[in-house]
Copies of this chain bind each other. A is one copy, B any other.
């Protein structure tokens, strides 16, 4: 902890960088992104992300293990900022006094073939055009707790480093393998490796509890508003539905995903 620098002004270039990275278009062009909060920064560290800078303000700490985490991470720079500056940098209502700049990391489809070779009974999750960062985050959280091997995002526009995705994932985005890829390429690999593609859609004859989810599979879910594209509907091996017993005809996508993920777990246990 020798390397602490004190910053007392908004005009410092590192502070300016944080403010830049809060904007999606700037973040997309950058090699870096922001992580806020203890749990999230810790998970990025566990996930092998390079943490460049940690900004902190002790008076905002919630517990007493924050300085220990900073020490363990051993970032290139540790910067103490004034409380009012920290609060301006934070995107949370109740800032916890910890904010980091980390280097982006990504998995590729070539990694997928490797993973398939190493995995006994593949359990994949494919997401297509999930619109809300909060939904994407809480889906990643469920994917981690349910033991999904890889999450494949078929939408090159998805920004997994959106602050709301990171937050809703409580850091799962950093410890889960997330591959962003083109759907045609994903399909090719799944077909080649005989991995069943299971689509959840209201127009189906089977309940999700009626089909065999013990075999190697990839569950696939579409956008909140439009559901799955015809590409995946036409290329799925089995279509299942979740029963709807009320007046509302659909679930929130992250709830649908969680129900399916845990049915896989139930059948496999």
Contacts and interface: CB of A to CB of B under 8 A. Distances in A.
A258 B245 CA distance: 13
B252 A265 contact: no
A262 interface: yes
B142 A252 contact: yes
A120 to B, nearest CB: 14
A216 interface: no
A7 interface: no
Nearest to A255: B258
A227 interface: no
Interface residues of A, number: 39
A43 interface: yes
A245 B209 contact: no
Interface in A210-269: 242-252, 254-256, 258-259, 262-263, 265-266, 269
B141 A175 contact: no
Contacts of A141: 248, 251-252, 255
A141 B134 CA distance: 17
A266 B208 CA distance: 10
Contacts of A266: 209, 263
Nearest to A46: B247
A245 B259 contact: no
Contact of A176 (B46, B246, B265): B246
Contacts of A172: 246-248
A138 interface: yes
A43 B255 contact: no
Contact of A250 (B145, B176, B244): B145
Contacts of A43: 247-248
